[in-house]
Chain A
Amino acid sequence: MMRLTKTLKALSLAAGLTLAAGAASAPDARAAELGATDEPIKLAMLEWTGAHVTTRIAGHILQEMGYQVEYVTAGNYPHHAAVADGTIHASLEVWLNNAGDIYPKMKESGGLVDIGLLGLETNEGWLYPVHMKELCPGLPDWKALEACAEKMATAETFPKGRILSYPADWGTRSADMIAGLDLPYSAVPAGSEGALVAELRAAVAAEKPLVMMFWGPHWALAEFETEWVALPEYDPACTEDASWGPNPNAINDCGVDRPDVMKTAWSGFEAQWPAAWKFLEAFQMDKDEQAKLMLAIDKDGEDLDAVTKAWVAENQAVWRPWVDAAM
Chain B
Amino acid sequence: MDEVHDPAEATQNTAPQPAGAVKIACRNVWKVYGPKPEGYFPDGSGRTDDPGALIQRLRNDGCIPAAADVSFEVRAGEIFVIMGLSGSGKSTIVRCLSRLVEPTAGEILLDGVDLLKMDAKALTDVRRHKMGMVFQNFGLMPHLTVLENVAFPLRVQGVDESARRKKALEMIALVGLEGREQAFPRQLSGGQQQRVGIARSLCVDPELWFLDEPFSALDPLIRRQMQDEFVRLQTMLHKTIVFITHDFLEALKIADRIAIMKDGRVVQIGSPSEIVLNPATEYVREFTEDVPMVRVITVAEVMERGDATPGSDGGSDGGSDGGPTVAPDMTLEAILPHFATADAPLRVVDADGRRVGRVTPQGVLKALAEHGERLEEA
Tell me, yes or no, whether A and B come into direct contact in the complex with CB atoms closer than 8 A. no
